Amino acid sequence: MQRIQKERILKDLKKKMVFLVGPRQAGKTWLSKDIAKQYNNPIYLSYDSIQDRKIMTEYAWSEKTDLIIFDEIHKMRGWKNYIKGVYDTKPEYIHILVTGSARLDAYKNAGDSLAGRYRVHRLLPITIRELEYNKLITKESIDVLLQRGGFPEPFLAQSNEDIQIWRNQYTETLLREDILEFKDIDNFKAMKTVFELLRTKVGSPISYSSIAIDAGISPKTVKNYISILESLYIVFLVKPFTTKIGRSILKEPKVYFYDTGLVVGDIEIQFENFIAVSLLKHSHAITDETGVVSRLATLRNKEGKEVDFVLVHDNAVDSMIEIKLSKVDDLQGIEYFAHKNGFTGWVVVKNSTRNQKITQGVEKIQAVEYLKTLKV
């Protein structure tokens, strides 16, 4: 299956080096090797390979090399300066693709010596838009993605047993390897408790104090653990939209998982998580490909009026999205903000046979039809 971002990455490689980041097993290595097929003399170098590591440290690739893929290079001490040196001294015809752990995205921000030398592309799980791109949409596509999640291996698995085995191993790897390698956790049991509690709180504002009591740690430690889960592309937070930064920080965000299969809850909560991932992927693509600063937020006021999601472009609301499984009721929030602020909105319904206008600026739309309109 082809990933939509492939062509854009190929274009960006001609201008700068590309960081391909995202959750573990989202398909970064597969996509990088697929991109390599477009070159005459590519070389794939993983820092996990002793032989490849020797080639890296000795700069021993062929003069004919036209693409270098550095995988897991974050494990090299001083990797940023190494990459900077390679990029600054390479011939113009050599392109560089850096991929591997999501930690690349976490590390690249602080004291960034690579500024101006790279483009970032975030590869997230498979969505309806990507299935349409590959002409693979069926009537059951949303249900399959809800059950299996959008990670390539479970999505393409041959049996439910294979899916469960993959998810068990995936979760164990996240907890035992990625988290402990990324940060020295002094209370692993508490971290695991936080992880398991978050699985049951998807779509709800986070109460750090409540989680802290259940995990036997402080609210500050809970925030730190969730920040680690964010850095490793395990969960993402959707914060309330406000033009006042301080107020946004004070309001409690909602939590979602990149792997919808990890969500513990009914079909409605799983569907909301699935839509959240799709919207986040769309928002990232806008930022990565156009330069417009896009983000996913939620919307609620002091009177309790709220909307599930808003897409915010350059700090202005582009559209509102309310999620419904089948019954279209309780639309006070989206109707209120449409009338008061003039925002346009969509009521995205999973089990719906037709579209219809709800009120001025707000329309009900079938989920598959809406998801096809997203960038990726």
Residue 251 has pLDDT above 90, yes or no: no
HSE-CB for 169 with a 13 A CA cutoff: 10
pLDDT class of 103 with cuts at 50, 70, 90: low
Residue 100 has pLDDT above 80, yes or no: no
At a CB cut-off of 8 Å and minimum separation 6, what does 80 contact? 107, 108, 112, 113, 114
Query: What does the pLDDT read at residue 105?
Result: 55
Tell me the average pLDDT across 257-276.
Answer: 96
> Which of helix, strand or coil describes residue 359?
strand
Alpha carbon of residue 191 to chain centroid: 21
Residue 69 has pLDDT above 90, yes or no: yes
Q: What does the block give as tokens for 158?
A: 């041959």
pLDDT class of 183 with cuts at 50, 70, 90: confident
* Residue given tokens 């080639």 in the structure block: 55
Instruction: Say if residues 257 and 235 touch (Cβ distance below 8 Å).
Output: yes
Average pLDDT, the chain: 91
Query: What does the pLDDT read at residue 110?
Result: 43
Q: What is the pLDDT of residues 193-229, one digit of tens each?
A: 999 999 999 999 999 999 999 999 999 999 999 999 9
Residue 107 has pLDDT above 90, yes or no: no
Q: What is the pLDDT of residues 291-304, one digit of tens each?
A: 899 999 999 988 88
CA distances to 17, 123, 212, 235 from 206, in Å: 37, 26, 11, 13
Query: What does the pLDDT read at residue 201?
Result: 97
CA distances to 2, 11, 67, 93 from 38, in Å: 14, 12, 9, 14
User: In whole angstroms, what is the distance from residue 308 CA to residue 2 CA?
Assistant: 31
Q: What does the block give as tokens for 165?
A: 């085995």
pLDDT class of 111 with cuts at 50, 70, 90: very low
Residue 272 has pLDDT above 70, yes or no: yes
pTM of the model: 0.92
Query: What does the pLDDT read at residue 73?
Result: 87
* Residue given tokens 């809970």 in the structure block: 222
Q: Shortest CA distance to 282 belongs to which of 319, 332, 228?
A: 319
Query: What does the pLDDT read at residue 104?
Result: 61
Is beta strand 316-324 parallel, antiparallel or unpaired with respect to 306-313?
Answer: antiparallel
* Residue given tokens 């809850």 in the structure block: 265
Tell me the average pLDDT across 56-76.
Answer: 94
Query: What does the pLDDT read at residue 27?
Result: 94
Lowest mean pLDDT among 43-52, 65-74, 178-187, 284-293: 178-187
pLDDT > 90 fraction of the chain, expressed in percent and rounded: 76
Q: What is the pLDDT of residues 123-167, one digit of tens each?
A: 999 999 999 999 999 999 999 999 999 999 999 999 999 999 999
Q: Shortest CA distance to 334 belongs to which of 354, 357, 301, 305?
A: 305
